[in-house]
Amino acid sequence: MLAWQEIDTVLLDMDGTLIDLHFDNYFWQRLVPERWGQERGMPLDDARRELEPVFAAVAGTLNWYCTDYWSEQLGLDILALKQEIADKVRWRADSRPFLDALRQSGRQLFLFTNAHPDSLALKIQRTALDHYLDGLYSTHEFGTSKEHQTCWQALHERLQFDPTRTLFIDDSQRILLAAHQFGIAHLLGILNPDSQQPHQQFVGIPAISDYGVLIPEVLAHPRARIML
């Protein structure tokens, strides 16, 4: 599936890729409309319908991922609401063995997420995922989301990785295609980002549902560790 002998650097998304997306789906599809609707005396289904175009208007932009933006737009303390259900933040069952294997193989590992720094901090607090990686980068420090080429350019300027020897793993086809446009040579999609939802589909991009199938090949092709 992947030419591991040609991969030195691995860039990983967070939500749905390393951490179960159920937390975020529950938060945005249930808790936020429920609380927003309660303040307006509105049933959950009606609140969802009202919020759909509000969410769609900023989909794919940095605002969609910004806790400060949504706190202001919705009149809710978004970070406080996330902390209420922090017990739902969980690793994907297959993530840590895969990260361990990547580290053992000598590759550089970086988190590259659209999550707001406040959300990232909450996930780190609950999972200690920073212990598994060489660096963690939120697109908010670059001023644009992974859907846009300027964000990839900014990350490349920061890390100076070789796109032709880099693997990027994400649960979004749109973002994977943006990485491909930038020149990332190796791409991998996640079929089951939310453990409680059906698998999704990818077109023209290799995808898996269990990192375990990759571990033997990762370890069979170690790399000399390069410090970026």
| 226 confidence band (pLDDT: 50, 70, 90) | low
pLDDT for 1 equals: 80
What mean pLDDT do residues 113-124 have? 98
Residues in the chain: 228
pLDDT tens digits, one per residue of 65-106? 999 999 999 999 999 999 999 999 999 999 999 999 999 999
Question: Is the confidence at residue 48, as pLDDT, over 80?
Answer: yes
Q: Is the pTM of this model over 0.85?
A: yes
* Residue 163 contacts residue 182 (beta carbons within 8 Å): yes
Q: What percent of the chain is predicted at pLDDT more than 70?
A: 98
Q: Which CATH class is domain 4-20+90-220?
A: alpha beta
Question: How high is the mean pLDDT of the chain?
Answer: 96
pLDDT for 24 equals: 97
Nearest residue to 51 (alpha-carbon basis) of 73, 67, 66: 73
| 227 confidence band (pLDDT: 50, 70, 90) | low
> Domain boundaries in the chain?
4-20+90-220, 23-87
Kind of pairing, strands 166-170 and 207-208?
Answer: unpaired
Residue partners of 184: CB distance under 8 A and separation at least 6: 11, 152, 163, 166, 167, 168
* Residue 123 contacts residue 117 (beta carbons within 8 Å): no
What is the residue whose two structure tokens read 């880099």?
A: 166
**Cα 83 from Cα 75, distance rounded (Å):** 17
Question: Is the confidence at residue 39, as pLDDT, over 60?
Answer: yes
| Partners of residue 208 on adjacent β-strands | 190
Residue 139 CB neighbours (<10 A): 22
What mean pLDDT do residues 38-51 have? 96
**Cα 185 from Cα 7, distance rounded (Å):** 9
pLDDT tens digits, one per residue of 148-201? 999 999 999 999 999 999 999 999 999 999 999 999 999 999 999 999 999 999
Print burial letters for 202-224: b (CB count within 10 Å at least 16), e (below 16).
beeeebbeebeebbeebeebebe
What mean pLDDT do residues 128-151 have? 97
Extract the tokens encoding 49: 């319908």
